[in-house]
Amino acid sequence: MSRALITSQVDRSATLEPAGEIGPDSLAVECSARQLADLEMLATGAYAPVMTFMGQDDWRSCVESMRLADGTLWPIPITLQLSASAVPASTSEIRLMSHGRHIATLAVSERFTPDLHREAEMVYATSSREHPGVAALYEAGDLVVSGRLSFHALPRSFAGPEYLTPFETRLAVEQRGWRTVVGFQTRNPVHRAHEYLHKVALELFDGLLLHPLVGETKSDDISAEVRMRVYKALLDNYYPQERVLLAVYPAAMRYAGPREALLHALSRKNYGCTHFIVGRDHAGVGDFYGTYAAQELFDKIDPDELGIDIIRFEHSFYCTRCEHVASKRTCPHDSSQHLALSGTKVRSLLVEGETLPAEFSRPEVAAILAEEYR
Q: Which sequence positions are flagged as catalytic?
A: 187-188
Q: Is the dihedral of CA 139, 141, 144, 145 positive or negative?
A: negative
Beta partners for residue 213, in sequence order: 249
Q: Where are the alpha helices (DSSP H) in 105-253?
A: 116-119, 132-139, 166-176, 192-202, 224-238
Residue type, 313: F
- List Cα–Cα distances, 210 to 82, 180, 315, 340, in angstroms: 34, 14, 19, 22
Instruction: Measure the N-to-C terminal CA separation of the chain; round to a whole number of Å.
Output: 47
- Distance from C-alpha of 276 to C-alpha of 336, rounded to nearest angstrom: 31
Distance from C-alpha of 252 to C-alpha of 38, rounded to nearest angstrom? 7
Task: Report which of 236, 268, 51, 87 is spatially closest to residue 164, judged by C-alpha positions.
Answer: 268
Q: Are 187 and 253 in contact (CB under 8 A)?
A: yes
CB 104 within 8 A of CB 152: yes
Interhelix angle for 363-373 vs 343-351, to 10°? Answer: 50
3-state secondary structure of 352: coil
- CB-CB contact of 187 with 143 (8 Å): no
Q: Which amino acid type is present at position 160?
A: G
The closest of 61, 108, 120, 53 to 81, measured between CA atoms, is: 53
